Structure 1
Amino acid sequence: MPAYVFPGRFPSTRPRRLRSAPWIRDLVAETALRPQDLVLNLILRDETAAAGPIPAMPGIARHTVDEVVTRAEIAWEAGIKALALFPFTGPDSRSPGGEAALDADNLMCRAARGIKASLPSIGLIADVALDPYTDHGHDGLLADGEILNDETVAVLCDQAALLAQAGFDTLAPSDMMDGRVGAIRRRLDDDGYTDRLILSYAVKYASRFYGPYRDAIGSRGVLLGDKATYQMDPRNADEALKEAALDCAEGADILMVKPGLPYLDRIAAVKATFGLPVAAFQVSGEYAMLRCAADQGAFAFAPAALEALICLKRGGADMIFSYYADEAARWLSDGLPS
């Protein structure tokens, strides 16, 4: 960015001239948000799991495989080019080692096959982590109260290879284990999946804003302790650049910052520092705050929700993961609802 030069003085200089009408505001707008900048987050459920909205995320529901195929088709028509899938797993399917993550017929694999059969051109992004499958709720293997880094990475490699085989185009390790990006890259290449992208959750903070998501995937009340030994400390800023640099060196194609709005400074820093596309994850807590405030009459949901996405794009995000991406795509194409 060039050094700022003061443009003049009032009254010869009046910044309001460039805000005087919609046409000129559109012409000089510095940030453009497009439907294709958005990734729609979808939560999967087995046919036997309860239907209906997720209490902690008003307006968001879990989808069966058949339902998620239909939802994908609707999102595609709205201009969404990619989906991120996450599975709800009930207590009967969880185990200490998260073995369901390696089941070729699990929800993620079945959903990928179903969506790709209907929409072969849509991008599918798979969450690679064990927390939806472990009975202790952690992203990795647990022994004597400690998360085992290298042993977890070995399982994540198997999980990533399985998801690639099922049809996912992008593997997104969200676990924050050290060294997992390089290990997954080697495994994918060895298995012939040299074309599959790795979207690394490079900068993932141990945030309270994930609470509603844990309801969504069945982890609330399951998690033993917290995730502070592997997710980042919210007080740290420079550490984000170290994490991103390591993942760049290990072969990441895209770098994620999570959460989104509370960490705009890290989105901007990662974008300015590295030559890779940057993703921002507008997490469940961000969504829930917007939706609940709107439901209480604080503001209209659509304009506030769209503003939040624009702020993430302005902050440096090339792509934004959101639970209302398909709604936002329609707002961008058809205008905000009255």
Structure 2
Amino acid sequence: MGLLFSPVYPTESDSMPQLPTHRPRRNRKSQVIRDMVQETRLTTHDFIYPLFLIEGQNQQLEVSSMPGIHRFTADRLIDEIGRCVELGIHTFAPFPSINDALKDRLAQESANPEGLYLKTVADIKRQFPDVVLMTDVAMDPYSSDGHDGVVDVDSGEILNDASLEVLGQMALAQARAGADIIGPSDMMDGRVAWIREVLDQNAFGHVSIMSYTAKYASAFYGPFRDALDSAPKKGDKKSYQMNPANRREALRELALDEAEGADMVMVKPALSYLDVILDVKNHTHLPVTAYNVSGEYAMVKAAARNGWLDGEKTMMEVLTSIKRAGADAILTYFAKEAAEVLRRG
């Protein structure tokens, strides 16, 4: 077989062609070397697993828009937590689906210690005292209006300051039930300071606040609202959730949350907001979390089911990208599946 090219030999007047001195490929030439120089690593310690809670007994119902994700009755949810603990996941974020008959405009069910959510939080902590529970502070699961704050009956306006009182009582009830981390997801102004004061005045100074610092009015929340039947009955959430077109605004929210006493800060959604995660990471010394939301999960699952993507590889790439952008922890519906992949090595 002949040569693919004809060699050219330099004469005395010629200089040798300049070959590259710097060869990044040397650090990619074997799996061992690639592993050695890898910059970002996922572990199960990075994951917070969101779980959906429903009334009843001995049921788990798949969410049609989130293949592989189920809504659990309390007994089955506790079993699921046990399985996840065996996989190395130790932090969970339960979200409740509340019966419509229990909802009202002031979300009073949210502070009922015998209600579905608080009773289940207490039961989980009794059975798994070492797991960390992050509870959700927002009115929408309990509100007859489906909003994260109190709705003015005449104007339809979301009343910021009236909402703070409800959110403070909700946070206090969750702390009493055993919550380790309070997660205000409502985006009302001043809610971190309000909740911090309520907790401190009631001897819950040890309970952390993970603020949803930059929560965008995103189209990626649809499957979550399907799972909990928590969509607004009228209007939208754009007067309190952030405009997806805004980046610098997240830093203003960050500065306020830090000043008000947040212990951790969050960007939601994650995958479409990697730039915001990086900005927040570069402007705070607090731990940064990111919420890999339901729509981001559903996209990967739908494409995988159609054979358009390798679902497992895409999942791990998505999670790695979120951590690479600066997230110290990731709320993700992929947590259990990713933990299984990490266990296999």
TM norm structure 2? 0.92
Equivalent of 1:248 in 258, 267, 278: 258
Give the count of matched residue pairs: 326
Which residue of 2 is the match for residue 204 of structure 1?
Answer: 215
Is the 1:41–1:321 Cα contact (8 Å) retained in structure 2? Answer: yes
Which residue of 1 is the match for residue 55 of structure 2?
Answer: 46
Structure 1: which 4+ aligned runs deviate by more than 3 Å? Answer: 48-51
Equivalent of 2:307 in 285, 297, 317: 297
Answer yes or no: is 1:334 the counterpart of 2:339. no
Equivalent of 1:91 in 94, 100, 105: 100
Answer yes or no: is 1:170 the counterpart of 2:181. yes
Question: Structure 2 matches for 1:1-338, cutoff 5 A?
Answer: 10-47=19-56, 51-143=60-152, 144-220=155-231, 222-335=232-345
Q: Quick one: which amino acid aligns to residue 133 of structure 1?
A: Y
Q: Cα offset for 1:242?
A: 0.2
State how far apart, in whole Å, the 2-side matches of 1:176 and 1:217 are.
19
State how far apart, in whole Å, the 2-side matches of 1:189 and 1:240 are.
27
CA-atom RMSD in angstroms: 1.4
State how far apart, in whole Å, the 2-side matches of 1:154 and 1:123 are.
26
SS at match of 1:11: coil
Which residue of 2 is the match for residue 3 of structure 1?
Answer: none
Q: Quick one: which amino acid aligns to residue 87 of structure 2?
A: A
Q: Cα offset for 1:282?
A: 0.3
State how far apart, in whole Å, the 2-side matches of 1:131 and 1:183 are.
19
State how far apart, in whole Å, the 2-side matches of 1:266 and 1:154 are.
30
State how far apart, in whole Å, the 2-side matches of 1:257 and 1:12 are.
41
State how far apart, in whole Å, the 2-side matches of 1:13 and 1:119 are.
53
State how far apart, in whole Å, the 1-side matches of 2:49 and 2:303 are.
22
Structure 2 gaps of 5+ residues are: 1-17
Q: Quick one: which amino acid aligns to residue 260 of structure 1?
A: A
Q: Cα offset for 1:153?
A: 0.5
Which residue of 1 is the match for residue 4 of structure 2?
Answer: none
Q: Cα offset for 1:22?
A: 1.1
SS at match of 2:92: strand
State how far apart, in whole Å, the 2-side matches of 1:131 and 1:234 are.
21
Q: Cα offset for 1:92?
A: 2.2
SS at match of 1:58: coil
Structure 1 gaps of 5+ residues are: 1-8
Is the 2:148–2:186 Cα contact (8 Å) retained in structure 1? Answer: yes
Larger radius of gyration: 2
SS at match of 2:304: helix
Which residue of 2 is the match for residue 4 of structure 1?
Answer: none
Q: Quick one: which amino acid aligns to residue 31 of structure 2?
A: P
State how far apart, in whole Å, the 1-side matches of 2:272 and 2:255 are.
21
State how far apart, in whole Å, the 1-side matches of 2:82 and 2:57 are.
23
Q: Cα offset for 1:136?
A: 1.4
State how far apart, in whole Å, the 2-side matches of 1:67 and 1:246 are.
39
Q: Cα offset for 1:150?
A: 0.5
SS at match of 1:57: coil
Question: Which region of structure 1 is more displaced relative to structure 2, 108-117 or 147-156?
Answer: 108-117
Q: Quick one: which amino acid aligns to residue 105 of structure 1?
A: E
Cα gap change, 1:261 to 1:267, in 2 (>3 Å):
same
State how far apart, in whole Å, the 1-side matches of 2:294 and 2:328 are.
20
State how far apart, in whole Å, the 1-side matches of 2:215 and 2:277 are.
11
State how far apart, in whole Å, the 1-side matches of 2:133 and 2:242 are.
26
Determine what percentage of the aligned residue pairs are the same residue: 44
State how far apart, in whole Å, the 2-side matches of 1:71 and 1:142 are.
36
Q: Quick one: which amino acid aligns to residue 98 of structure 1?
A: A
Q: Quick one: which amino acid aligns to residue 292 of structure 1?
A: A
Q: Quick one: which amino acid aligns to residue 180 of structure 2?
A: D
CA offsets, 1:267-304, max 9 Å, x none? 00000001100000000000000111101111221111
Q: Quick one: which amino acid aligns to residue 249 of structure 1?
A: A
SS at match of 1:310: helix
State how far apart, in whole Å, the 1-side matches of 2:165 and 2:115 are.
19
Is the 1:39–1:319 Cα contact (8 Å) retained in structure 2? Answer: yes
State how far apart, in whole Å, the 2-side matches of 1:50 and 1:70 are.
11
